[in-house]
Amino acid sequence: ALAFDEGQGETARDQSGLGNDVALHKVAWVAGHTGGGIGFSQQGSYGRIEEAYLPVKEAMSVAAWVRPQYPETGYGPVVVIGSGGVDRFEFGFGPDNLYPVISDQQTHSGGALYVGGMKALIPPGTWGHIAICAGPDGATTYINGKPVARTGYVGSFDFTTKEVFIGVRGAEQYHGDLDELRIWNRCLSDDEVATLARQ
Rounded distance between C-alpha atoms, residue 19 and residue 15, angstroms:
8
Grouping H, G, I as helix, E, B as strand and the rest as coil, residue 31 is strand
pLDDT tens-digit readout, 111-164: 889 999 999 999 999 999 999 999 888 899 999 999 999 988 766 777 777 889
pLDDT tens-digit readout, 172-191: 999 999 999 999 999 999 99
Q: How far is CA 121 from CA 39, 118, 143, 149, 191, in A?
A: 20, 5, 7, 14, 19
Confirm whether pTM is higher than 0.85: yes
| Length of the chain counted residue by residue | 199
pLDDT tens-digit readout, 77-101: 999 998 766 678 899 999 999 999 8
Rounded distance between C-alpha atoms, residue 97 and residue 196, angstroms:
22
Rounded distance between C-alpha atoms, residue 174 and residue 71, angstroms:
8
Rounded distance between C-alpha atoms, residue 170 and residue 176, angstroms:
17
Q: How far is CA 151 from CA 39, 102, 158, 173, in A?
A: 31, 11, 20, 27
